[in-house]
Structure 1
Amino acid sequence: MALAYHKKLDDSTEFAIWKIEESAEELYAQLQLRDHEQKVLNGLNNGKRNLHWLSTRTLLRQLLNTKHYIDCQVDEHGKPYLPGSPYHISFSHSFDYAAVMISKDKPVGIDIEIIKDKIERVAKKFLVKEELDFIEDKHKIEHLYICWCAKEAVYKLQGKRNVSFKDHIRLQPFPFNQKGSFEAKLEADQECKTFDVFYEKFENYMIGYVAGCSEILTSIPDITETQVNEK
C-alpha cells in the first residue's frame, strides 16, 4: 500500500502523501488516460518525472474516490484543474513521494520537499533580509525549508507565473517547530492577500500547505490525520 499519510482539514479539504513504490506500469494500470494525457505522458522522460506524473494522478483518484474518468487538465500557467468539477486541486512531488491536496470550496496549494543542506546556498534568492533574520541557527536547514514550502504553496494556490517568491510573497516571523502555522502575504497584480500557511515535517521531508485566504481559514484547523504503517 503506497498511501503514507492522509490529513483532513475540514469537511471539504484534505491532502494525502503517496510513497512511490510501484513501477510505472503498475501506476498506469490504475488510471484511465485519454489521447491528450497519453501524449503528455509519452513526452516525459522515463524515470522519476514519469513516476511523479503517474503517482499524482493515482493519488488524486484515491482522494476523489471514484471509478469514473477524471479529466485533469493544466492551464496556461501550469496549474492543474478539473473542468466541470467543484474541486480545487494542487500537486507536488519530491524524490520518493507525491502529494495531492483537494478542496470543494476554496483554492489550495501544497508543496513537499526532501530536506537537504543545499537550500542554505540559495536562501537569499527567495527570502528578504527580514525573513532571513528570524531563521534559527540551531534549526537553520529545516527552518529554511518551511519558508520555501510555504512560499511554494502560496504560489501554487494563486496559480500565476508572474509571482516572485522573494518580491511578492512575504512571511511573518515564526519560531521553528516540527509543525505549526504562520501568516504569509501575497502582494501581486495590485492586490494584497493574506494566508495562514501550515507546515509539518514528515520523515525527512517538509510539507507546506494553504487553503483559501485567512479570512476563511484563520487558525490551525480541527484535523484528523492518518499515518499508514509501511510494510
Structure 2
Amino acid sequence: MQSDRLEIVFARNDEYLWGDNVPTVNLTLNSRQIHKWKSRQTALFLLTQLFEKYQLDKSLLNNIQKTSTGRPFVTDERIDFNISHSGDWVAVIFSYSSHKKVVGIDIEVPKKTRRYKALLDYYASELEKDYLLKDPDKLVEHFYLSWCLREAILKSQGVGIVKLREVSHSPTQKTIECKYCPTGRLHFFNQLPFYLCYFFEGSAVPEISQYHQGNLQKIEKILPLVYQVNKEKQ
C-alpha cells in the first residue's frame, strides 16, 4: 500500500447496519447504553472499511488493545487511529505510514446551552479569552474551537482533559504549544453537522469522507482553519 495515508471518516451511529454480520443489540440495555453501543459498533465498522480499502489485516481489529491511559491501538507500528463521537455522529481518523505518525480527533455537536465563559475561565489564558470573548456572535464557535483543539491534541497521546490548561493556544498566531504531543498540524472545521478538529503528524494530505448508505462520499470544497503545533520544536 502507498505510504503516508491520512483519512477522516464520519457517519451517523446507525451506519454499522450496512456491514456484514450485523451485531444484535442487547435489548436489556437502557437507551443511553444502547446509544453508546451503537457508536462503538459504528466506529469499528468505519475502521473495518478503512482496513478493507487499504488491504490491511482486519484480524488486528479483533484484538484492539489499550494503553495504560486507555487509548486504543492495534499491534502494527505503521497504523495509528483515534475515535470521537458526539450526539448521533461518530468520526475516525486513520493514519498509515512507514513509521507510525500519531493522530487525534474530536467532534462536538453543539449543545443548546453550555457555561462557555466559566469553562474558558478554567482552562484558557487571559490573552486567549480576550480574543474568544470579544465577539458575542461568535462565542459558540470560538468556544468549540478552543475546546476541540485541546481534546484532539491531548487524545493524540491518550492524555485526559485534566491537562486542558497545559495546551497553549494563540488564536491570532494560529499556533498551539503542548508538551503532550509532537510537532504537527491541526485542522478545525465548522461547516459540518458538528465541529470537527484533528491533529496529525507528517505531511500527508488529509482526506475527509462521510460513510452513507453503503458508500464513502468524499467531502470537498470546504476549507479548515489551520494551526501549527509545537512549531518551535522543528
How does the TM-score come out when normalised to structure 2?
Answer: 0.70
**Partner of residue 208, structure 1:** 197
**Partner of residue 148, structure 1:** 147
Query: Is residue 2:67 matched to residue 1:75?
Result: yes
Asked whether the equivalents of residues 187 and 199 of structure 2 are also in contact (C-alpha less than 8 Å), the reply is yes
Stretches of 4+ aligned residues off by more than 6 angstroms: 25-28, 228-231
CA separation in 2, counterparts of 1:112 and 1:103?
18
Q: 2:39 aligns with which of 34, 52, 55?
A: 52
CA separation in 2, counterparts of 1:162 and 1:122?
12
CA separation in 2, counterparts of 1:195 and 1:184?
10
Deviations 1:107-128 (A, max 9, x none): 0000000112415142222322
* Structure 1 segment 111-122 matched on structure 2, within 5 A: 111-116=106-111, 117-120=113-116, 121-122=118-119
Note the C-alpha offset of 1:172: 1.5
Note the C-alpha offset of 1:194: 4.3
Asked whether the equivalents of residues 113 and 205 of structure 1 are also in contact (C-alpha less than 8 Å), the reply is yes
1:126 partner amino acid: Y
* Structure 1 segment 96-111 matched on structure 2, within 5 A: 96-105=88-97, 106-111=101-106
How does the TM-score come out when normalised to structure 1?
Answer: 0.71
Asked whether the equivalents of residues 8 and 208 of structure 2 are also in contact (C-alpha less than 8 Å), the reply is no
Deviations 1:14-69 (A, max 9, x none): 1111112358x7779347xxxxxxxxxx9x96322111211111111111115832
Note the C-alpha offset of 1:226: 4.3
Q: Relative to structure 1, is the Cα distance of residues 150 and 141 closer, same or farther in structure 2, using a 3 angstrom cutoff?
A: same
* Structure 1 segment 106-185 matched on structure 2, within 5 A: 106-116=101-111, 117-120=113-116, 121-135=118-132, 136-137=134-135, 138-161=137-160, 164-166=163-165, 168-174=166-172, 182-185=174-177
CA separation in 2, counterparts of 1:156 and 1:129?
24
Asked whether the equivalents of residues 183 and 194 of structure 1 are also in contact (C-alpha less than 8 Å), the reply is no
**Count of residue pairs the alignment pairs up:** 194
Query: Is residue 2:179 matched to residue 1:187?
Result: yes
CA separation in 1, counterparts of 2:75 and 2:22?
21
Gaps of 5+ in 2: 24-28, 215-234
Same amino acid, percent of matched pairs: 23
Deviations 1:148-172 (A, max 9, x none): 1100000011223496111x11111
Aligned-CA RMSD value: 3.2
Gaps of 5+ in 1: 1-9, 32-41, 176-181
CA separation in 2, counterparts of 1:118 and 1:162?
17
CA separation in 1, counterparts of 2:10 and 2:68?
26
CA separation in 2, counterparts of 1:14 and 1:91?
12
